[in-house]
Chains A and B, each alone.
Chain A
Amino acid sequence: MQHALEDFLRALRAQEIAISPAEAIDAHRAAAQVGFADRTLLRDSLCVTLAKTAPEVGRFEACFDLFFSRSRRGQTDRGAPEEVGDPSAEAFDLEASLETGDAAALAAAMEVSAARVGASDIRLGSQRNLLTRRLLDDMGLRTLDARIASARAADDAATRALAERLTRGRADLFDQASAFVARQARLFAGESGRRMREQILGRQRLTAVEPEDVAAMSALVRRMAHRLATKYARTQRRAGKGRLDLRRTLRRGLAHGGIPFEIMWKSRKLEKPKIMVLCDVSRSVASAAQFLLLFLHSLNDVVESLDAYAFSDHAVCVNDLLNDERVEDATALILDRVGFRSTDYGRALADVMAQSDANRGGARLDRRTTVIILGDGRANHAEPRLDLMRAMSQRARAVIWLNPEPATYWGQGDSKMDAYARFCAVAKTCNCLDDLERVIADVLRTYVKS
């Protein structure tokens, strides 16, 4: 059973449950403690040793059920098997097993062959057919086929009937084998296929996301944001050596008769950044804006406040929509309000400045605020209001401009991007999720950790 447990651990790793060698040892100790007889007990004890978070518990249970379900298959097919032959000990006779309908022997032989052809090394769903074929070949399909062919050609009716039976048995066997390999694929390849897909999605152009990919992209965005959030939520305070905290030192000293044994230093709490985000939601950029908003919204933990404005020919504050739980739906509402019109950057900047001034006497845009602008910088030949852009960059901590267009297009045609870029601390092309993650990580590193 030790081998089975190792296989199981490999299946778990394929489900993105990280299991270190030390945990593998724990799992073996746990299994040795409770034994393999009681399935529920085994599942519970492996679960408490291996799954470390609530989502992992869910994945663990699914994987456990799938993995250990095969041990029961022999019984469900044809009642309880009378005796289970050990196929590795004696030569396995495929033909005889098919004829007698010995499901248990067939299942056992399949396991042995699967180990020989390496069915559990499957990485991609598309390897299924190949592996099924190899598995059947290993079980002796070629001899069986030859036997069926010769029996078909025989004269007497009994042999031809045998050929019929064997053909039916062969079809059943084929179904069983492909089901077996499909299960192996779900166990060992399900995640690697998904991961590959995610890598592709990460490089997908944000402005050209297929509707059916939106859900997967959103999930990916949330995970990226969560990764960043946990990373930066951990370092909120620096041990600021240098300034003496007299009050706390004296207080500590009281325990030692007033002698300041322990010197306490003032520690400074790091300020979380305030982010103001301006999203162009004209037709050309709208879908990229959706993912940026989702990303920033998911960063709630590490960002003190998030002010979001959406603009096309004018700008509106969309905080009220983002505070809701369902950010994905919010995007549609935002597009309803201001989306799909021709952009007017000058007017939008004026609106944003006016609104941030009006709200809290200009308090919203201050030295702690990082402004992130997402847009293509195409002003449609309207007045770009560079004076407002300058004012914004002077008042904010930094202005970061993410442009879906490649830098070679900046300044061509009606693009005012080169003019705007002068006032930005960072102006970058950002056209896929990987870019987005990198830029946001830079922002957090520069303005949270510094």
Chain B
Amino acid sequence: MAEPSASVEGLIAGLADVGYIASGRIATALYMALHLQKPILVEGSAGVGKTELAVCAAALLGLPLIRLQCYEGLDESKALYEWKYGKQLLYTQVLKDHMGRGLAEAPDMESAMAALHGAGDLFFSEPFLEARPLLAALRAPGGAVLLIDEIDKSDEAFEAFLLETLSAYQVSIPEIGVIKATVPPVVFLTSNNVRDLGDALKRRCLHLHIPLPDQALEERIVAARVPGVEAALRGQLVAFVQALRGMDLRKLPSISETVDWARALILLHARALEPQVVRETLNVLLKFEADIAAVEPRIGELISGRP
């Protein structure tokens, strides 16, 4: 079989094999990311499969997935690297005698200082470096898929700090120098639009907006994710969800909710959408009390598909 990353069609087929039904645009974005070596910034409402795309791409490419979950207050020492202070302390303690002996033999102050300088550099070297996700992704020998999840939740300072990593695939560590990636990782950034990202970051990324899917695509996704559901029920439940998206709700159900609902219906041995079953499982689809209250009286007409 040809390498899946050689063409967009290959990527669509390959992603389908690992359980991700991608639209042409999604596959094209991944294709461009692989060939232009640029990160992808994935946007879309919660549950449309942003994170899942990275997971499936890692599976498809056979690369390890390294994940960095962003949150307010995330800083370098948690994202990039940290020194193993404990190990450094332990080593200095253990080597105290040895160092004392070495220094005692030094004829004068200057040579003792010189010996100390050499030892000091030893403690800030790679064996004492604790690699956090970003560094780990750069140092992965065969490349990796790096998922920087919910970048919009992080601070702006962190966003600025990411720029070096994302554009040059390198990091600067003051004590060691610049570490460059041997194989540039495939980077996914996801955002829920909690805040607007900076232009500098956007410029460095390919931009992919995943919309809510249409009926046909969503049916295929449900079929891939929940193989046990029968075709008739599948069409019915997807049509129901699609109808819900036309309503004025606080949180529209997205793909993950549809998939969860399909699973729930199978668990309840539902053969077709009955008002009773729908009413009991509506809380899987809708996450707000007000939304449920708004939909409940209209279940009958939503199932029949007539306004």
Contact = CB atoms under 8 A, between A and B. Distances in A.
Interface of A: 18, 20, 22-23, 26, 29-30, 33-34, 40-41, 44-45, 47-49, 51-54, 57, 230, 233-234, 255-257
Contacts of B269: none
Contacts of A52: 199, 202-203, 207
B156 A48 contact: no
B32 A33 contact: yes
Contact of B36 (A26, A44, A233): A26
By Cβ-Cβ distance, the 9 closest A-B pairs, closest first, are A44-B28, A48-B29, A48-B206, A52-B202, A52-B207, A44-B25, A54-B209, A256-B85, A230-B196
Contacts of A40: 24
Contact of B208 (A20, A29, A33, A48): A48
26 contacts: A20-B203, A30-B32, A33-B32, A33-B35, A33-B36, A34-B8, A40-B24, A41-B8, A44-B8, A45-B32, A47-B25, A48-B28, A48-B32, A48-B206, A49-B32, A49-B206, A51-B207, A52-B199, A52-B202, A52-B203, A52-B207, A57-B209, A233-B196, A255-B85, A255-B86, A257-B89
Contacts of B209: 53-54, 57
B117 interface: no
B298 to A, nearest CB: 20
A34 B38 CA distance: 16
- What bracket does the count of chain B residues touching chain A fall in? 20 to 34
Main secondary structure of the interface of A (DSSP, over half): helix
B283 to A, nearest CB: 25
B150 interface: no
A51 B89 CA distance: 51
B219 interface: no
Contacts of A34: 8, 28, 31
Nearest to B72: A237
B210 to A, nearest CB: 10
A380 to B, nearest CB: 43
A365 to B, nearest CB: 30
B208 A234 contact: no
Contacts of A30: 32, 36
A325 to B, nearest CB: 9
Contacts of A20: 203
A54 B203 CA distance: 15
B195 interface: yes
Interface in B10-54: 24-25, 28-29, 31-32, 35-36, 38, 40, 43
A33 to B, nearest CB: 5
B307 to A, nearest CB: 22
